[in-house]
């Protein structure tokens, strides 16, 4: 059984900062890509940022320069530093990991953490 547990969401004023964390636990051989996605109210889930095991990153255009993704391979953890928050960043943020287990490779999602930006 694998779990991804997110933390760090909350209510913050526009222009503020947050740091989201996500840790994977369970019978994991290795984790290749990890990432963050978000689902704004009434919209579809969208990519925020991804990071490979070697540290290569990819960002949605809307967050470049304001968000920074990082990971700690030893802890099976991924982080998202969010700066200069905007109202449109309000969403449920989901952690994602593509990982290898004894039985094969699988895509796992966390339960989501709410980020609400106020004016």
What integer pLDDT is reported at residue 35 of this predicted model?
A: 97
Closest CA to 108 of 25, 75, 99: 99
What integer pLDDT is reported at residue 1 of this predicted model?
A: 85
- Per-residue confidence of the chain (119 residues) as pLDDT tens digits? 899 999 999 999 999 999 999 999 998 888 999 999 999 999 999 999 999 999 999 999 999 999 999 999 999 999 999 999 999 999 999 999 999 898 889 999 999 999 999 99
Closest CA to 38 of 15, 53, 18: 18
The answer to whether residues 85 and 12 touch, using CB atoms and an 8 Å cutoff, is yes
Residue 17 sits at φ, ψ, to 5 deg, of -135, 155
The answer to whether residues 100 and 27 touch, using CB atoms and an 8 Å cutoff, is no
* Residue 16, Ramachandran bin (φ over 0: left; ψ between -120 and 50: alpha; else beta): beta
**In whole angstroms, what is the distance from residue 32 CA to residue 71 CA?**
11
Closest CA to 98 of 23, 6, 31, 21: 31
């Amino acid at each position: 059984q694998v779990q991804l547990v997110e933390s760090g969401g909350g209510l913050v004023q526009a222009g503020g900062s947050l740091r989201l964390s996500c840790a994977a636990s369970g019978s994991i051989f290795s984790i290749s890509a990890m990432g963050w996605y978000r689902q704004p109210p009434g919209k579809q889930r969208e990519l925020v940022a991804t990071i490979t095991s070697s540290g290569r990153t990819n960002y949605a255009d809307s967050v470049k320069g304001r968000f920074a993704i990082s990971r700690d391979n030893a802890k099976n953890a991924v982080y998202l530093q969010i700066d200069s928050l905007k109202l449109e960043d309000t969403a449920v943020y989901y952690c994602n990991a593509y990982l290898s287990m004894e039985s094969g490779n699988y895509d796992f999602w966390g339960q989501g953490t709410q980020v609400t930006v106020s004016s």
